[in-house]
Chains A and B, each alone.
Chain A
Amino acid sequence: MQPSVREDYLEAIQQFSEKNAHLPHYAELALAAGKTESEVRADVEDLVSSGDVSLLSGELIALTEKGKLTGESVIKKHETLQCFLSEILGMDTTAASDEACTLEHAVSDETIDRLGRLIVKQEGLRHHTWDGKHGTGTAPCAVEDCDCTCPSISDCAEGEQVIIHCIHGRACAKRLLDLGMVPGERASIKRKLSDGALVVQVKGCDVALSPEIASAIGVERSL
């Protein structure tokens, strides 16, 4: 079963039981999900085997703890996205709701990706890769893996002035950001040892960097 189909079912069951104060039968679920009853029967069997749903006596469909968690989370995601789309992007509320319906699932990764590509193309800039993992409970992977060809700060010589362009890799990025090494910031190289270890002056502070950290900082030379 497609992850998005699964999430749709869980969302529908959760919504149904919240709205109607009782658990859905096959027929009711089929109506809510816009499918035929036989399709729903087959799918619910899959959901039972994946541990999201349990069947109660009288063919009532109930969510398990795990299924309920996913269902609730999808609903919240939907609401937040809808709010974001309508209030920020100025979309019509119904359209935003429909859009959020698609965006909330893993299947919409492609849509999001295409949308991203379109925006980038419009701005005439390079597309940044994105791994597209979704709904794992943590925030998404950032767009720090840029494939730009700018020189790294470790290619520069002692005494050079640079403007920071990008920071590759995630592990070290946080501390660098906190120390003021954000894109667009000016920095000067105060010391360079033969192995590539650097002392970089940024925002009036000297920061010592290991060679492997320095090579992750992309810069533009400034005059």
Chain B
Amino acid sequence: MKIALLGNPGVGKSLIFNQLTGLGIEVNRYPGTSVCLECGNVCYKKEKIEIVDLPGIYSLDGNSEEELLVRKFLEQGGAEVIVAVLDATKLERNLYLFTQATEFSPRIIAVVNMVDEAERQGLIIDVGELSSHLGVPVLLTAASEGRDIDRILPLALGSAKIATLQVPYDHHIEAALKSLEKTLGTPRSKSLLALQGTGEDRMLLDAAGAVAHEIELRHRMSVRQIIATNRHNLSRKIAASAVRQGDRKKTYDLDSLLTRVYPGVPILCAILFSLLLSVFLIGSWMEGIIVQYFTMYIILPFTSLGLPPLAERIGFSVLVALEAGLGIAFPFIFTFYLGLSLLEDTGYMTRAAFLADRAMHRLGLHGEAIIPMVIGFGCTVPAVMSIRILKTRREQTIAAFLISMVPCSARTVVIAGIVAAFVGIFWAFSVYIIVFILIILTAVMLTRITPGEQFGMIVEMSALRRPQARLVLAKSWLRIKEFLFIAMPLLIITSIGLGLLQYYGVTEIFEQLVAPITVTLLGLPEYASTALLFGIFRKELAFETLAVLSGTADLGSVMTAGQLYTFAIVSVLFVPCISTIAVLYRQLGARIAILISVYTVFLGLTIGTIINMLIT
């Protein structure tokens, strides 16, 4: 038995999903896309029930990855029962998606969530009235209080049925649907899509296109507009008869602070800065502890085993990879994800997008791009995956370049471990400033040369609400799991590979080959090139390898402040890590992945050389 949750973004689907399934969630990447499907199992009356959380969407007609996925899911009858989650405070708008979903005639129930919020706004929802209009059972819930969530499963399993609701389309559309059904035998939902120019059947599209022409000329409106208007009108009618507006409690509108330039922009800067600073501080503190204990209780006992050299080399590489993964994943990335999930769950990120829109336009992007950019401070991999929220290839390309340059947590470790520790905290900030200037310059250049068109921001502002600790934790946990899943295997494999290269002396040959660059241009010791090479695998490895190769953790005693600073800047700028390159390749193709890698190598070496020249 399979049940799927369907709904607009931000209706509390994930919260319901979490309460239904607990924490035992699997994330399945849908084949061929980067969209995640969250699945979880529950046991109800001794039957195993699989629950799928479909991505939040506004419509089933569009061509975004999420919309395509959900549409395909419904077309194929991916679940026995659909639980349509609706936001009680925005019932009319939410019913729009519901009217579309019913066209695929699944067995369905409607869950009207957030009734607590609706009560605060004085909205009273008549369940009986709504249910008779929709022709399916309706349940009122308040997921944030856990109210009536336990009734969802019994209702879904016991009373779900195919909705009787049918959108009364304009009579020309209805006639066109009838004509298409008669001549080609196409079902209603498919014909509706074909009339809007979506589908793969060329014959159907041609026929529908010809009819759509006629309709458009009569109405002076596109078929899309007519269909959308019909659906919205029906939703309005249903909402009007099912929702009553009672007394509204006056509440203070925080948006009067948050969405104005003043004090909104200072608040935005303060929030982002404190997020990064707390990740930096908490991360370095926790990393120190983890590395200390890991070294003391695992690595040292292992090296004292006295294994044969090759086995020791491999075992050591695996352990170092684990240490690096743990040392960065939990202290930095998990802390960052906690903060990010907190911000997202309060609904603040959409305000940030609105305020950042203007600045982002200067970078050739728009407000929505702030979300991948901020994620980039945590880890570049999920940040690159999230650029699909940008709609055009041009925006995705620009965003990918910039995100690959944003200092992620691993680079923060390099900056903290080398520059802040041995050169000075002020110099550490100067690294950030240099990187930001380069990001802006890169953006200015890219906006001029990247082909393609720009698409602006259209973002629904999510309501401000108090975040739920449980959900924030669950979300961060899912994200870190995804990170570990992608990064850990790569980390271990590459670590073993490099360990072997070192064992057979290949790295020494490499060092000598690139010595002209390392020594002459950058003014660094020869072994620094191996450290930089390791940095490709994970950025913070550059720092750790440097410590290993120089033979001391006190880097200040073997390299000058200038050398350390140059090394840090080069490794921060130089080539995104291997996981990032893999994700770039998957999202944007080989060409962009190579371009970004080459560009960042060039940038790293150039800036390194300039700094070296300035110092000496």
- Residues 240-257 of B, flagged 1 when their CB comes within 8 A of A and 0 if not, give 000000000000000100
Residue of B nearest to A144 (CB): B222
Cβ contacts under 8 Å, A103 to chain B: 210
A157 contacts B by Cβ under 8 Å: no
In the assembled complex, the Cα of A220 lies from the Cα of B355 at a distance in Å of 27
A130 engages B93 (CB within 8 Å): no
**Given A206-B460, A208-B457, also A143-B222 (CB < 8 A):** yes
Residue of A nearest to B359 (CB): A195
Q: Report the stretch among A16-24, A28-36, A113-121 that lies at the interface.
A: A113-121
| CB under 8 Å from chain A, chain B span 202-246 | 202-203, 205-214, 216-225, 228-229, 232, 236
- Looking at B194, B210, B218, the one whose CB has the most chain A CB atoms below 10 A away is B210
A137 engages B206 (CB within 8 Å): yes
**Given A84-B214, A205-B90, also A191-B459 (CB < 8 A):** no
A174 engages B197 (CB within 8 Å): no
Cβ contacts under 8 Å, A197 to chain B: 354, 357-358, 367, 457
In the assembled complex, the Cα of A159 lies from the Cα of B63 at a distance in Å of 34
Cβ contacts under 8 Å, A167 to chain B: 225
A42 contacts B by Cβ under 8 Å: no
Q: B209, B228, B460: which contacts A140 (Cβ < 8 A)?
A: B209
A80 contacts B by Cβ under 8 Å: yes
In the assembled complex, the Cα of A81 lies from the Cα of B180 at a distance in Å of 10
Cβ contacts under 8 Å, B194 to chain A: 139
**Given A72-B203, A81-B210, A178-B62, also A139-B197 (CB < 8 A):** yes
| CB under 8 Å from chain B, chain A span 108-135 | 112, 115-116, 119-120, 125, 128, 130, 134-135
**Chain A residues touching B, range:** 35 or more
B615 contacts A by Cβ under 8 Å: no
B211 engages A173 (CB within 8 Å): no
A175 engages B458 (CB within 8 Å): yes
A182 engages B203 (CB within 8 Å): no
Q: B96, B196, B202, B457: which contacts A180 (Cβ < 8 A)?
A: B96
A83 engages B182 (CB within 8 Å): yes
B176 engages A191 (CB within 8 Å): no
- Looking at B178, B179, B180, B261, the one whose CB has the most chain A CB atoms below 10 A away is B179
In the assembled complex, the Cα of A112 lies from the Cα of B217 at a distance in Å of 8
**Given A171-B455, A174-B62, A208-B354, also A76-B225 (CB < 8 A):** no
A81 engages B58 (CB within 8 Å): no
A88 engages B225 (CB within 8 Å): no
- Looking at B171, B179, B213, the one whose CB has the most chain A CB atoms below 10 A away is B213
Q: Is the interface of B mostly helix, strand, loop or mixed?
A: helix
Cβ contacts under 8 Å, B184 to chain A: 76, 80
B361 contacts A by Cβ under 8 Å: yes
Q: Is the interface of A mostly helix, strand, loop or mixed?
A: mixed
A209 contacts B by Cβ under 8 Å: yes
A116 engages B217 (CB within 8 Å): yes
A174 engages B224 (CB within 8 Å): yes
Q: B179, B224, B353, B366: which contacts A87 (Cβ < 8 A)?
A: B179
| CB under 8 Å from chain B, chain A span 180-196 | 180, 182-185, 190-191, 193-195
| CB under 8 Å from chain B, chain A span 185-219 | 185, 190-191, 193-195, 197, 199, 203-213
B501 contacts A by Cβ under 8 Å: no
Cβ contacts under 8 Å, A208 to chain B: 350, 353-354, 357, 367, 457-461
A209 engages B207 (CB within 8 Å): no
B259 engages A191 (CB within 8 Å): yes
A101 contacts B by Cβ under 8 Å: no
A60 contacts B by Cβ under 8 Å: no
B144 contacts A by Cβ under 8 Å: no
B92 contacts A by Cβ under 8 Å: yes
B259 engages A84 (CB within 8 Å): no
In the assembled complex, the Cα of A212 lies from the Cα of B459 at a distance in Å of 14
**Given A143-B221, A193-B261, also A213-B202 (CB < 8 A):** no
